[in-house]
Amino acid sequence: MKKVELLNLKGEKVKDINLKEEIFGITPNNNVLNDAIILAMASLRQGTHKTKNRSEVSGGGRKPWRQKGTGHARQGSIRAVQWVGGGRYGTPVPRDYSKKQNRKERQLAIRTALTEKADAKEIIVLDKMEVKTPKTSEMMNVLKTLKIDDKKVLLVVKEFDDNLILASRNIQNLVLILADEINVLDVVGTDVMVATEDAIKYIEEVLK
């Protein structure tokens, strides 16, 4: 079992807790992790890019001039790709960028990401996470107390409350998510993961 310190909001040690080896101490599989990151990034792409081809632009129903005798190159339509206002060739069309990964691979990927975070000692566990007011300054004080105000932080909690949401939303280097929303992209894309004890227990229960 991996031991980590359980801290309070003042940064003081409360006790040691154990992280489950099957979640936070596996042999990392970087290939599966890489596939999961690509899948997550691909899912963010809308795929709505579109330009019109020559069948979709208006006009150009007849030849602009006769085939021979004008001194000009032969043309079939003023909406061909070489004309201004013509259709476009080989340009983007709407498509679905989403990829697939089976459930066991997705779970292995998140376990790998969590293991690497734990190995790098980039996981901080709090006994609770609460702010008394919805002020950004109060949340910043918590980050400064934990000495992570200059890092990109992933904050994972079991449940939201209004004060926590409002105090966190204006901090650019803070990502606030629920434990059941934890994902590879957020874990690997932040410097430090801060989680409540309840959130850690929930993650261990779901990923076991």
User: pLDDT tens string for the chain (208 positions)?
Assistant: 788 999 999 999 999 999 999 999 999 999 999 999 999 999 999 999 999 998 899 988 889 999 999 999 999 999 999 999 999 999 999 999 988 999 999 999 999 999 999 999 999 999 999 999 999 999 999 999 999 999 999 999 999 999 999 999 999 999 999 999 999 999 999 999 999 999 999 999 999 8
Q: What is the per-residue pLDDT for 61?
A: 83
Q: What is the per-residue pLDDT for 2?
A: 82
193 and 116 inside one domain: yes
DSSP character at residue 169: T
130 and 185 inside one domain: yes
Q: What is the per-residue pLDDT for 60?
A: 81
Q: What is the per-residue pLDDT for 208?
A: 82
Instruction: Report yes or no: 155 and 177 within 8 Å, Cβ to Cβ.
Output: yes
175 and 112 inside one domain: yes
Give the separation between CA 199 and CA 177, rounded to whole angstroms.
10
Helix, strand, coil shares of the chain, percent, nearest 5, are: 35, 15, 50
Maximum distance among all Cα pairs of the chain, rounded to whole angstroms: 94
Sign of CA dihedral 137, 141, 142, 146: positive
Q: What is the per-residue pLDDT for 110?
A: 96
117 and 70 inside one domain: no
Q: Which of 63, 91, 119 is the last residue of a domain?
A: 91
| Owner of token pair 């006790």 | 15
Instruction: Report CA 168 to chain centroid distance, whole Å.
Output: 18
Q: How many domains does the chain have?
A: 2
171 and 70 inside one domain: no
Q: What is the per-residue pLDDT for 59?
A: 86
Question: Which range marks the domain in which residue 183 is found?
Answer: 2-45+101-207
86 and 105 inside one domain: no
Residue 96 lies in a domain: no
Do β-strands 123-126 and 192-196 pair in parallel, antiparallel, or remain unpaired? parallel
**Dihedrals φ, ψ of 5, to 5°?**
-80, 135
28 and 58 inside one domain: no
pTM: 0.82
